[in-house]
Amino acid sequence: MSEPPSLTRIEKVLDYIHTHLDESISVASLASKSCWSRWQFQRVFGDATGLTVAQYVRELRLSLAAELLISSTARHLDIALDCGFESEVSFNRAFRQMFGCTPGQYRRQGLRRGLRTPLQYVSPDRYPSVTSKLYAQIRIETRESFNVFGVHNTIHGPFSSTPDFASKVPRIWRDLQRSKSTHVDGVDEVGVIDARYESSPDELCYWAGYQGGLNEDLSNYGAKALTKLTIPQQEYAVIPVFGNVRNLEAAVRWFMFHWLPDSNYLGINGFELEQYGRNYSPELDSSYMEYWLPVIPRQQEQEMTL
């Protein structure tokens, strides 16, 4: 089935933005490439993406700049100009507003954090859980090492020939609730899939637990039945998941089959995370969670094989 004309026009505008980030881009010039007036275009773009045109362009430019700071030795001024900024002063100001640090500090840290990727269309009929809009945006984050205190068991995941995760994962979470101490209230809950090894692709270890700092002791949680798992520092693609927790499988499938193959990243073995907020309710349509999947840039993988 072909896309409606309105989506085709938005796709053309997005393609133009993605290939002209180093040039001046105005709402008026983008509207002229569509069938809409300037006011109509801004409204259609916002309804489809949840972002303003200016916000989207600015965040992509700054994300590209952040990537160049880490992956190249180019001067800050050259990066600023190549990413569409008129001066290093305006670049520094915008960079600090988005990332909370200066370009120099970001470069010295050497970690990808808060990077926005180009919007990608999501079929609302097939993948309604990925976004409440027509387009979704994946975030790239580096997460420092932390501890998880919880319970675990083996599962067969959605890509197994005999999947049983739909029945076993809720059982593992119930086991965690039975181990719960009053001291755990107010701590973020996290699900962890240990996908570090390929020896048994059908069988994975799933953890349900509470997120803690590296210096926290298990006794702080007041539940002797809980086991500690240390998650190493990893780089992740962050997938938004809206609504009932059952929507998680569809969101991950969209990411694996639609976003990842066309991206500049590769999935790798590691710890996959289900990040839940403190007030998360798995049955509510208004709920929101994030799935964190380990990735590396394609360029980095090529360098590792040389």
For residues 61 and 166, membership in a common domain is answered with: no
The reply to whether 127 falls in a domain is: no
For residues 148 and 269, membership in a common domain is answered with: yes
| CATH code for the domain of 179 | 3.20.80.10
pLDDT tens digit sequence for 38-67: 999 999 999 989 999 999 999 999 999 999
Domain endpoint, select from 117, 150, 183: 117
User: Is it the case that residue 17 has pLDDT exceeding 60?
Assistant: yes
pLDDT tens digit sequence for 178-191: 887 666 667 889 99
The reply to whether 218 falls in a domain is: yes
Better-predicted residue by pLDDT, 15 or 163: 15
- How far is residue 258's CA from residue 302's CA, in Å, rounded to a whole number? 22
- How far is residue 86's CA from residue 258's CA, in Å, rounded to a whole number? 35
Tokens of 48: 């489809």
For residues 98 and 231, membership in a common domain is answered with: no
For residues 113 and 148, membership in a common domain is answered with: no
User: Is it the case that residue 245 has pLDDT exceeding 90?
Assistant: no
For residues 53 and 163, membership in a common domain is answered with: no
Domain endpoint, select from 117, 150, 170: 117
Confidence of residue 140 (pLDDT cuts 50, 70, 90): very high
Query: What is the pLDDT at residue 206?
Result: 96
For residues 42 and 173, membership in a common domain is answered with: no
For residues 190 and 293, membership in a common domain is answered with: yes
Chain center to CA of 89: 29
Mean pLDDT of the 277-296 span: 89
How much of the chain exceeds pLDDT 70, in percent?
A: 87
User: Is it the case that residue 287 has pLDDT exceeding 70?
Assistant: yes
Q: Show the domain range for 299.
A: 141-305
Better-predicted residue by pLDDT, 302 or 187: 187
User: Is it the case that residue 276 has pLDDT exceeding 70?
Assistant: yes
The reply to whether 77 falls in a domain is: yes
The reply to whether 247 falls in a domain is: yes
Confidence of residue 306 (pLDDT cuts 50, 70, 90): very low
The reply to whether 125 falls in a domain is: no
How much of the chain exceeds pLDDT 90, in percent?
A: 61
User: Which of 71-75, 216-220, 249-253, 301-305 has the least mean pLDDT?
Assistant: 301-305
Query: What is the pLDDT at residue 145?
Result: 96
User: Is it the case that residue 1 has pLDDT exceeding 60?
Assistant: no
Domain endpoint, select from 117, 132, 161: 117
For residues 100 and 200, membership in a common domain is answered with: no
Query: What is the value of pTM for the model shown?
Result: 0.89
For residues 107 and 150, membership in a common domain is answered with: no
Q: How many CB atoms lie within 10 A of CB 167?
A: 9
For residues 87 and 152, membership in a common domain is answered with: no
Residue with tokens 């840039």: 297
DSSP label at residue 2:
P
The reply to whether 165 falls in a domain is: yes
Angle between helices 53-71 and 38-49 (to 10 degrees): 60
For residues 157 and 107, membership in a common domain is answered with: no
Query: What is the pLDDT at residue 105?
Result: 98
Query: What is the pLDDT at residue 151?
Result: 93
> Would you state the torsion angle of the CA atoms of residues 97, 100, 103, 107, taken in this order, to the nearest 10 degrees?
-150
| CATH code for the domain of 43 | 1.10.10.60
Query: What is the pLDDT at residue 218?
Result: 66
Query: What is the pLDDT at residue 215?
Result: 82
For residues 154 and 255, membership in a common domain is answered with: yes
Count of domains in the chain? 2
Confidence of residue 297 (pLDDT cuts 50, 70, 90): very high
User: Which of 155-159, 200-204, 299-303 has the least mean pLDDT?
Assistant: 299-303
Query: What is the pLDDT at residue 169?
Result: 93
Bridge-based pairing of strands 146-155 and 204-212 is antiparallel
Mean pLDDT, the chain, as a whole number?
Answer: 88
The reply to whether 134 falls in a domain is: no
Mean pLDDT of the 193-215 span: 83
The reply to whether 133 falls in a domain is: no
